[in-house]
């Protein structure tokens, strides 16, 4: 099955596509191997690979892509940023695109993280309140 | 096989069994749309004006259904924030 078909069926709603699994381990491993070589400076990235690196970082995929422990994520993301900083002089990458990658997209994720944290906090607070009510027999 | 940026991102985003996403689904709303925009830019199908308005170039075409669908959406000039935030093209 062509990758495009997979994308067409999954990209619109990939999170509801558990009945349409994507299984192309070899291709995935090939992509990951190439990324690792780039991060180790064994390969020179092309613009598309640079963009993929940036998208991995902004999509919070660093840990899963490289199979890292949580404490290793920061240093790997720093390494990605180091490569991006070094190679962002590709002429093909428009100045505004850089802004898009580094500012706009980043800002969305910051907002998303803040929102996620807030939801987590509220959820915890509700759980605590429920526990306190149960334990105290209610304060009303 | 030459695979596109959104395809690469999708491959990386899905676990080994091919069933679930590694990260929260909301992370991909923007990044997949961004990946489509970036792919279009690399293919010179869109350009950016100084105010980050995305301008479509319909003179060339590709065999990629997703990109073709996206380029149709981009015929109305708008900025990158609009396309990633509101259209969720991917």
Instruction: For residue A3, list chain B residues with Cβ-Cβ distance below 8 A.
Output: 1, 3-4, 7, 11
Q: Hey, where are the domains in chain A?
A: 24-91, 94-140
Higher pLDDT pick, A68 / A97: A68
Q: What is the pTM of this model?
A: 0.63
Inspect the interface and report whether the beta carbons of B24 and A64 lie closer than 8 Å.
Answer: no
Report the residue from B17, B35, B52 with minimal CB separation from A96. Answer: B52
Q: What was the pLDDT predicted at A66?
A: 86
Q: What was the pLDDT predicted at A6?
A: 46
Question: A6 near B12, Cβ under 8 Å?
Answer: no
Q: What was the pLDDT predicted at B79?
A: 59
Q: Which of B30, B20, B12, B23 is nearest to B89 (CA)?
A: B30
The token pair that represents A42 in the structure block? 């064994």
Residue A92, min C-alpha distance to chain B (Å): 7
Q: Hey, where are the domains in chain B?
A: 5-87
Inspect the interface and report whether the beta carbons of A112 and B26 lie closer than 8 Å.
Answer: yes
Strand partners, B47: B55
Inspect the interface and report whether the beta carbons of B8 and A12 lie closer than 8 Å.
Answer: no
Please report the residues numbered 81 through 110 in chain A whose beta carbons come closer than 8 angstroms to any beta carbon of chain B. Answer: 92, 94, 96-97, 99-101, 104-105, 108-109
Q: Which of B2, B79, B17, B71 is nearest to A49 (CA)?
A: B2
Inspect the interface and report whether the beta carbons of B38 and A21 lie closer than 8 Å.
Answer: no
Q: What was the pLDDT predicted at A124?
A: 64
Question: B32 near B22, Cβ under 8 Å?
Answer: no
Question: What's the pLDDT tens digit per position in B13-56?
Answer: 887 666 677 766 666 767 777 788 778 877 777 776 665 566 77
Residue B58, min C-alpha distance to chain A (Å): 19
Strand partners, B46: B56
Query: What band does A100 get if pLDDT is binned at 50, 70 and 90?
Result: low
């Amino acid at each position: 099955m062509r990758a495009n078909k997979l994308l067409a069926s999954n990209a619109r709603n990939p999170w509801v596509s558990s009945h349409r699994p994507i299984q192309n381990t070899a291709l995935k491993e090939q992509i990951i191997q190439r990324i690792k070589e780039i991060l180790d400076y064994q390969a020179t990235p092309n613009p598309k690979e640079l963009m993929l690196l940036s998208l991995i970082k902004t999509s919070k995929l660093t840990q899963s892509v490289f199979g890292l422990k949580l404490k290793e994520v920061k240093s790997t993301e720093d390494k990605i940023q180091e490569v991006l900083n070094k190679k962002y002089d590709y002429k093909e990458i428009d100045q505004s695109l850089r802004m898009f990658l580094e500012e706009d997209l980043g800002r969305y994720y910051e907002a998303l993280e803040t929102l996620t944290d807030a939801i987590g906090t509220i959820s915890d607070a509700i759980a605590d309140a429920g526990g306190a009510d149960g334990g105290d027999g209610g304060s009303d | 096989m030459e695979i596109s940026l959104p395809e690469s991102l999708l491959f990386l985003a899905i676990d080994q069994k091919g069933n679930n996403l590694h990260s929260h689904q909301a992370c991909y709303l923007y990044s997949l749309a961004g990946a489509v925009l970036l792919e279009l830019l690399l293919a010179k199908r869109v350009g950016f004006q100084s105010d980050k308005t995305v301008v479509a170039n319909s003179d060339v075409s590709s065999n990629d259904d997703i990109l073709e669908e996206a380029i149709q959406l981009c015929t109305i000039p708008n900025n990158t924030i609009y396309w990633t935030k509101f259209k969720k093209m991917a």
